[in-house]
C-alpha cells in the first residue's frame, strides 16, 4: 500500500456512471505562464466555421489539431499537424501522470470570457467505446460543466492553470461537458485535450469514404 502517494498522483472525483480524475499541477519543465505564452504564439490557430441549423457560424474559440491520425469532430474533418517538440514534451508529461498513451491533441484557445464550448461528448467512433481523454488547462480559470444525459445532474469544476482532468470509462457515454461564456473580466486560456485515435477505426473510416 502506498501510504505516501506523490503529489503527482491523480485524485478521483466521484461521479455516477463515469470516471473523473484530477491533478492540480502537471509537472512541466517551464512555468505555466511560459508554456501558455509559447502555445499562444507557436500554435497554428484556426477559426473554424461550423454549421448549426443550416447556418454557418464561426466557432467561439480558436482551435488546432496535432497528431498522427485523422479525426472528425463536430462534423469537421481535421487534418492534423505533426507534433511540435513542445507538444511532445507536454504529451509525455501528461502520459506519465495519467498512465495513458495518446496519439493526438486538440488545442482550444479561449481568447477571453466571450469564448466558450457548447455541451458535447467526445464520443466519436475513432476514440473507441470508453475513451481516456486528458485535458490540460493553462491560463485563466474557467468552469467546466458536466451534465448527466439522463438524470441531468450537474457537476462544476474550476479548471485552474496547470491542472489535468482525466475523463475515462463510461464518462463520454453518460455525460455531456462544456465551457460557458463568462461575464467576468477573463484572460486568455489554452486547453489541450489529449486523445487516442484507434487505428482500426481510422482504417474503417478510410474504407467507407
Ligand X SMILES: O=C(O)CCC(=O)C(=O)O
**Residue 135 partner contact from ligand X, Fe ion, none using kind-dependent CB cut-offs of 5 to 8 Å:** ligand X
Measured CA to CA, the distance from residue 74 to residue 18 in angstroms comes to 22
Q: Which residue is nearest to ligand X (CB)?
A: 191
The set of cell numbers assigned to 121 is: 461528448
Q: Is 104 in the site for ligand X (CB under 6 A)?
A: no
179 belongs to the binding site for ligand X (CB under 6 A): yes
Radius of gyration of the chain (CA): 17
Out of Fe ion, ligand X, none, what residue 144 binds, judged by CB under 5 to 8 A for its kind, is: ligand X
Per CB under 6 A, the list member of 36, 159, 164, 166 interacting with ligand X is: 159
Q: How many residues bind ligand X (CB under 6 A)?
A: 11
Pairing relation of β-strands 11-15 and 18-23?
A: antiparallel
Instruction: Tell me the three cell numbers of residue 41.
Output: 504564439
Applying CB under 6 A, which of residues 32, 43, 104, 108 lies at the interface with ligand X?
108
Residue from the set 98, 104, 135, 163 that interacts with ligand X by CB under 6 A: 135
Distance, CA of 168 to CA of 102 (rounded, Å): 13
Give whichever of 5 and 11 is closer to ligand X, judged by the CB atom: 11
Helix 85-98 and helix 32-42, axial crossing angle in degrees, nearest 10: 130
106 touches ligand X by CB under 6 A: yes
Q: In this chain, which of 193, 194, 196, 205 binds ligand X, going by CB under 6 A?
A: 193
| Residues at the interface with Fe ion (CB under 5 A) | 122
Query: 178 CB contacts (<8 Å, ≥6 apart)?
Result: 116, 117, 118, 119, 120, 144, 145
36 binds ligand X (CB under 6 A): no
d(CA 169, CA 165) in angstroms, rounded, equals 13
SS3 61: coil
Binding site for ligand X (CB under 6 A): 106, 108, 117, 122, 135, 144, 159, 177, 179, 191, 193
Amino acid at each position: 500500500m502506498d501510504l505516501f502517494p506523490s503529489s503527482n498522483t491523480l485524485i478521483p472525483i466521484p461521479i455516477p456512471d463515469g470516471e473523473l480524475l484530477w491533478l492540480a499541477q502537471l509537472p512541466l519543465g517551464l512555468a505555466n505562464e511560459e508554456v501558455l505564452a509559447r502555445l499562444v504564439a507557436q500554435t497554428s490557430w484556426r477559426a473554424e466555421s461550423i454549421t448549426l441549423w443550416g447556418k454557418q457560424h464561426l466557432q467561439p474559440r480558436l482551435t488546432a489539431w496535432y497528431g498522427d491520425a485523422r479525426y472528425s469532430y463536430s462534423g469537421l474533418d481535421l487534418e492534423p499537424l505533426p507534433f511540435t517538440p513542445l507538444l511532445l514534451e507536454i504529451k509525455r508529461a501528461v502520459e506519465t501522470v495519467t498512465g495513458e498513451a495518446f496519439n493526438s491533441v486538440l488545442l482550444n484557445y479561449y481568447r477571453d470570457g466571450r469564448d466558450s464550448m457548447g455541451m458535447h461528448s467526445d464520443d466519436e467512433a475513432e476514440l473507441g467505446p470508453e475513451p481516456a481523454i486528458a485535458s490540460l488547462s493553462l491560463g485563466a480559470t474557467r468552469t467546466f460543466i458536466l451534465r448527466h444525459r439522463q438524470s441531468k445532474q450537474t457537476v462544476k469544476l474550476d479548471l485552474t492553470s496547470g491542472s489535468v482532468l482525466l475523463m475515462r470509462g463510461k464518462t463520454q457515454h453518460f455525460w455531456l461537458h462544456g465551457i460557458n461564456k463568462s461575464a467576468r473580466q477573463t484572460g486568455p486560456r489554452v486547453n489541450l485535450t489529449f486523445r487516442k485515435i484507434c487505428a482500426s477505426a481510422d482504417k474503417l473510416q478510410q474504407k467507407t469514404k
